[in-house]
Amino acid sequence: MRNSDALRFLLRLACFLPFAGGLILIDWISLQPPVKGRFTHILDGAATALVSGKTIVSHADMRDLKPIWIEHLHSRRDVVILGSSRLAQIPQDWFRPRSTLNAALLAGDFADTVSILQLCLETGKSPQLVLLELNPTLTFEGKSYVAPALSTYYRRALLHYKIFSPVLLSGPLSLDGLRWDPQIFLHPDVWRISNEFDPGAYRMRPDGSADWDLTESGATPDQVDASVVSAMKRLDPTYSHWRATSRPGWFDLKILRAFLGDLQSRGIRVVVMLVPVHPAAFDFYARQGGYNESWIRQEMAARGITVIGSYSPSVARATRADFYDDVHVKASLLHRLLREGGIVQE
C-alpha cells in the first residue's frame, strides 16, 4: 500500500514538470537579446540620450533604466556608486578628476547592488573604487524579486560566488524576465530630454545622479519633523519590524561576504557609507533594536574596509535641517561625510 501511495505521489508530481519546464523556457526566451529588445527599445532611447550627455526626466522604474544605460556606456568609470536612493544625488563633480558612475537605484537593495556590479564587470566597466551604501538588513522588506533588467546578472553573480540558492530556480519559475514596469508601455511620455523637473518622475543626469519629488519638496525642518513623527505613528507592522531589525539573514550575509571578497580579489577598493537617519526616527527605531551598525563595522574592520558616516545622526553630526524625511539626507551632508572620510576633495 505504501509503495502504491508513493507511486501515485510521484506520478502527480511528474504532471507538474511540463508546466515548470514551460515557465523556465518562457523566462529564458524573454531574456534573449531579440526578445528583450522588444521590451527595452523605449528605454534604449533614454540610455542613448544619457550617453550623449543629455539630462532626462523619466517615469520608468530606475531599476530597469539604469542597467540598460550602463550596458550602453562605452567605457569604464573610475568610481561606481552602489546603493539605494540615499546616494542617488551624488554627482560626478565631487570626484573630479576621477570619472564616476552613480548606479544607486531608487528602491534599490543589496540584491540590486550585486547585480549592478556583475553587470559592470561583465561589460568591461570594472572600477577602481566602489562606494557602497548598506542597509542594516541588506534587503528591503516586501521586495521579492530583482528587476528584469538585472535578474540575469544576479543569477550569474551567485553562480560566480558558487552560491546555490532557491533564487536560481525561483527566478525562472516566477518569470523575472517578464516583470517589466508597465509604465514603459502605457505611459505616453515615459521619458524625455529635459533639465526641468517633472513631478511624479525623476531627473537623471549623464553621470547617473538623480533628483526626484522628495529632493525637490522644499519642506522646512519643522515640516520634516512633523512628517517623521506622524509616520512613526502610522507604521505598517511588517515595515516597522524591518526597520527595527539590525542584522541580515544568514543567506544575505553570505552573499555580502562573497561580494566583498570578489571585489578585493580584483584589487577594487571598497568604501562603505552609512547614511544617517533622522533624529526622531533613529531614536524610535534604536529603542527597538534598529540601526545598530556594529555588525557592519566588525565585518568591514576584518577586511580592512573603510566605513564613513553612521546611522546615528549624533555620531555623524547631522542636524534636523539635513533631512528630507526619515532616512534621506540632503546632498550637502553626503558631501561633508565624503570629504571627512577623505574620499573626495574640498
Centre a 10 Å sphere on the Cβ of residue 16 and count the other Cβ atoms it contains.
Answer: 9
Average pLDDT, whole number, for the chain? 86
Nearest to 229 by CA among 290, 276, 278: 278
CA distance 335 to 341: 10
- Tens digits of residue pLDDT in 164-222: 755 444 455 455 655 655 666 666 688 899 999 888 899 999 999 999 999 998 899 99
Q: Where does 148-266 show beta strands of DSSP type E? A: 191-193, 202-204, 210-212
Contact between 320 and 223 (Cβ < 8 Å) = no
User: Mapping DSSP to helix (H, G, I), strand (E, B) and coil, where does residue 219 land?
Assistant: coil
Query: Do 66 and 83 contact (CB within 8 A), yes or no?
Result: no
Please tell me the distance from the alpha carbon of residue 165 to that of residue 322, in angstroms, as a whole number.
Answer: 40
The number of angstroms, rounded, from the C-alpha of 241 to the middle of its chain's C-alpha atoms is 20
Q: Which of 280, 340, 332, 258 is nearest to 307 (CA)?
A: 340
Q: State the cell numbers at 151.
A: 535578474
Contact 170, 179 (CB under 8 A): no
Q: Which residues contact 57 (CB under 8 A, 6 or more apart)?
A: 191, 192, 194, 196, 197, 198, 201, 202, 203, 204
C-alpha cell at 336: 561633508
Distance between CA atoms of residues 37 and 47, nearest Å? 13
What are the boundaries of each domain within the chain? 18-340
Q: CA-CA distance, 149 to 68, in Å (whole number)?
A: 7
Alpha-carbon distance values, 150 to 36, 66, 71, 123, 324 (Å): 12, 10, 11, 13, 29
DSSP 97: T
Q: Kindly give the interhelix angle for 62-72 and 148-160, rounded to the nearest 10 degrees.
A: 70
HEC profile of 247-271 = CCCHHHHHHHHHHHHHHHHCCCEEE
Question: Do the beta carbons of residue 152 and residue 28 sit within 8 Å?
Answer: no
pTM (predicted TM-score) = 0.86
Q: What is the pLDDT along the chain (346 residues), one digit of tens a residue?
A: 455 655 555 555 455 445 444 444 445 445 555 545 555 678 899 999 999 999 999 998 899 899 999 999 999 999 999 999 999 999 999 999 999 999 999 989 999 999 999 999 999 999 999 999 999 999 877 665 677 888 889 989 999 999 875 544 445 545 565 565 566 666 668 889 999 988 889 999 999 999 999 999 889 999 999 999 998 888 888 888 888 899 999 999 999 999 999 999 999 999 999 999 999 999 999 999 999 999 999 999 999 999 999 999 999 999 999 999 999 999 999 999 999 999 998 7
